[in-house]
Amino acid sequence: MQQPVTIEWAMTRAVELAARGLGRTAPNPVVGCVVLDVDGVVVGEGWHSRAGGPHAEVEALAAAGDAARGGTAVVTLEPCRHTGRTGPCTSALLAAGVARVVVAVPDPTETAGGGADLLRRNGVEVVEGVGREAAEHGNRAWLHAVRTGRPWVTWKLATTLDGRTSAADGTSRWITGATAREAVHRLRAERDAVLVGAGTLRADDPHLAVRGLDDVTQPLRVVLDPRAEIALTARVLDDVAPTLVVVAEGADATRLTTAGVDVLALPAGERGLDLAALLAALHGRGVHSVLLEGGARLAASAVADDLVDEVVAHIAPALLGAGSPVLADAGITTITEALRLTTTDVARLGDDVAVTATVRRER
C-alpha cells in the first residue's frame, strides 16, 4: 500500500511533471498536477504535454478516477476557468469532487485567471503559494511572455576560459565537448524558437534543429539575414523544422518568397535589425521562449537593448589567448554599468562546465 505524502512533496513532483512539457505547449504554459486521495496517497499524475491537448488537471484526474473524490489536487498553476480548445479545468475539478486544490502560482491572464475564486465559491478549499518559487522558475518563460508581451530570451554561449569563441584563424569546432553539445539540443527542444545572426549564418551554415532526442517538437528556426542573401540550399531551409528568415525593410526578398520561404521584414538601425520588433512579432506567433545561439554582435545588440533574460554559458577548460570574443561591444563602458546576473545552476558537462544565470531586474 502506498504511503501518504506531504503537500510539499506533491508540489515538487508536480513541478517535475510540468517540465516534461517544455518546448511543446506554446502558446500555453507548462503545468503539472498531482492528485491525492482522502488519505494523502498519490492516485493520479498529469502534465500538459501539447497545446490543444488535455490539461494537467484533466490528465491527473483521469488517472485518479473515483479516488479523487474528497481528495486534493496539487497543481503548479491556477486552474483555468475558461473554454479554449479544451474545457475549463475548474469544471473538471468540481465534477471529480475534490475537496481541496493547492496552487503554486496564480494565473496572470484575464481569460484564464480567477479559477481559484470560482472553486472557492463552489465550496472547494483553495491553498495558494505552496512551492511558488520553484513553479515560477519552471514556468518563467510563459509568465514573462504574458506579463511583458515578449518572449523570454536565453543566450547560449560556448567559450574558453579566457572568453574566446573561436581561434585567431576563425576555427571554432569544437570548443566544448560532446556532452555539452548534447545539452544544447536539450536546450533547443525546451524552447519555442532558436535565433542566430547573419554572421553565424554566413560562417557556419547552421542547421539549428534538435537532433538526438526522440518525440520533440522542433523549435522555429529564426535567422537574421538583413540583405536577403541566404542561399536556398542553406541547411536551415530544409523541411526538418520550420524556419523564419528576417530581412531588413526594403530588401528584395522575392527570390525567397517565390521559393516558399517564410520571410519577415523589419526596420534596421545602426546595430542591425530591430530586435525588440522581432521579439514582438515572435510573441504574436505564439513564441514565448527564444534561444539565442549566436553570434557575438547579435548578443551584444540584445544585451544593449536589455532583451536578454538568461544566460547559459558552456565553458571549456581551454585557453586561446587570441580570437573572437564571446561578446562584442554592448555599450557598457564602466564597471558600474555591468549587466549583473544571478546564478541559478552550475553543472558539469564532461570536462566542461555549464553556468546558468538570470538577469537581475526590478519587478
Catalytic positions, written as ranges: 57
Nine cell digits for residue 271: 546595430
Could you give the C-alpha distances from 314 to 70, 160, 253, 296, 356, in angstroms and in order? 48, 9, 36, 15, 9
Maximum alpha-carbon separation in the chain: 70
Residues 213 and 223: beta-carbon distance below 8 Å: no
- For residues 324-342, one letter each, b for 16 or more C-beta atoms within 10 angstroms of the residue's C-beta and e for the rest, the string is bebbbebeeeeeeeeeebe
Amino acid at 189: A
Could you give the C-alpha distances from 201 to 171, 196, 197, 317, in angstroms and in order? 15, 7, 6, 27
